[in-house]
Structure 1
Amino acid sequence: MEKELLYQKFGHIFDDALINEIEKVGSIKTFSKDDIIIDINQPLQYIPLLLSGNIKILREDNEGNELLIYFLEAGETCTMSLTCCMGTFKSKIRAVAEKDSSLIMVPVQKMQKWFHNNESWRNFILESYQTRFDEMLEAIDNLAFMKMDERLYKYLINKVKLHTSNTIIVKHQDIAEDLHTSRVVISRLLKQFENEKKIKLSRNKIEVL
């Protein structure tokens, strides 16, 4: 099953030789929704390749408040963890399972070796860096230029795309933590969206109309 997923999610990216080596040296890990996959200051010895599920990448300030940076989908990896591994640093991010997820963990030493001798891996890493860099620029733009109601509505739309469903199962408090604001602000804005017929609210559930 895992090999099928590996081919399904990465077969169009990696050559057959690399797929076979990943299967040989990688270890499959499964995580339930809200499990911490990588934590801040954790030494990184493996690179995660996401086979199924979704992962959110967070930063944390000195008071322990979290800020959502970007989401990962199946077929992707976290380039912030790649950066830490290449410099043998500790993780600067927290990766949390957005829903039940499975990953294949690749030893760091292999990642560095493949970067030099495998073109498909090198292209994947470079494209991943570009994608994540663009997303981080977008996150900065959102913080600097967008009002909270715009950020919230964009967040909801991204959730819809991520889960391929117009119905989002989420608590107001969780949204507030992702957007680094208060639950009261989020609840007020969601009620405003409902009055504008943009969404429909029910307990721990939001339907984007």
Structure 2
Amino acid sequence: MRDAFPFWGQLTPKQKNLLEQSVGCSSYQKGERLHDGAQDCMGLILVLSGHLRAFILSDAGKEITIYRLFDRDICIFSASCMLKNISFDIYIEAEEDTRILLIPTPVYNELNQTCLAVSNFTGQLISSRFSDVMWVMEQVLFMSFDRRLASFLLEQATIAGGNVLSITHETIAKNLGTAREVVTRMLKYFQSEGMVTLSRGGVTISDSKKLERLAQFEK
């Protein structure tokens, strides 16, 4: 834990003891939801292993991924109730079996108010996550769907460590905030252009260079 939090060395012995006594470790299975919007203020999440997806929901129930959390990544918006004038309906679920450390909101709030290093870290973390959100919004507003899909497939290939992706059209649609039918049509077009090969419950990237050129077009 001492290596997980960059502010550890700036804490007093009392604060270190408080943190050690309060931090909990939890495990979640793939597909399990950890956080259910602004009313669920569970605390500061640090990923020990696995990875999580943070997303928002439209009034119509459509999802769009705003950022992902991997080993040693930290989520501040799961403790958003302690942040004045900030309230986000952000949902978090496990994309694979995941273990986390959790600092309860009251404990982190106390550290944030009494330790300058923690307060500075919180500000940096909020700024970083806002940048993630703004990048996604920029994509949605200004990038064509074929480019967004190409970028998403390349990102998934990096996460998977290979070009064979075990992912459904429905899952892709949830991540990109669109309808499954739109994804299916575009993937079929990609297949006709030799960029991907489609199979039941999966997508194989056939020509990553062509996908990269599409993703970077007009950047």
Structure-1-length-normalised TM-score: 0.83
RMSD: 2.6
SS at match of 2:147: helix
Given the superposition, is the C-alpha separation of residues 157 and 126 from structure 1 closer, same or farther in structure 2, using an over 3 Å criterion? farther
1:171 and 2:172 matched: no
Match of 1:105 in 2: 102
From 132, 137, 140, the counterpart of 1:135: 132
Q: Partners in 2 of 1:157 and 1:7 — Cα distance?
A: 34
From 9, 15, 19, the counterpart of 2:8: 15
Amino acid across the alignment from 1:82: A
List runs of 5+ in structure 1 lacking aligned partners.
Answer: 1-5
Given the superposition, is the C-alpha separation of residues 144 and 90 from structure 1 closer, same or farther in structure 2, using an over 3 Å criterion? closer
Match of 2:24 in 1: 27
Q: Per-residue CA shift, 1:104-130, capped at 9, x if unaligned?
A: 111112212222444553343222222
Q: What fraction of aligned residue pairs are identical, expressed as a percent?
A: 24
Q: Which has the greater radius of gyration?
A: 2
Given the superposition, is the C-alpha separation of residues 197 and 89 from structure 1 closer, same or farther in structure 2, using an over 3 Å criterion? same
1:160 and 2:157 matched: yes
Number of residues of Structure 1 aligned to a counterpart in Structure 2: 202
1:28 Cα offset (Å): 0.9
Q: Partners in 1 of 2:119 and 2:171 — Cα distance?
A: 36
Match of 1:58 in 2: 55
SS at match of 2:149: helix
Contact 2:7 2:118 in 1 (8 A): yes
Amino acid across the alignment from 1:166: N
List runs of 5+ in structure 2 lacking aligned partners.
Answer: 209-219
Match of 1:148 in 2: 145
Given the superposition, is the C-alpha separation of residues 109 and 174 from structure 1 closer, same or farther in structure 2, using an over 3 Å criterion? same
Q: Partners in 2 of 1:14 and 1:199 — Cα distance?
A: 45
Contact 2:54 2:67 in 1 (8 A): yes
1:203 Cα offset (Å): 2.1
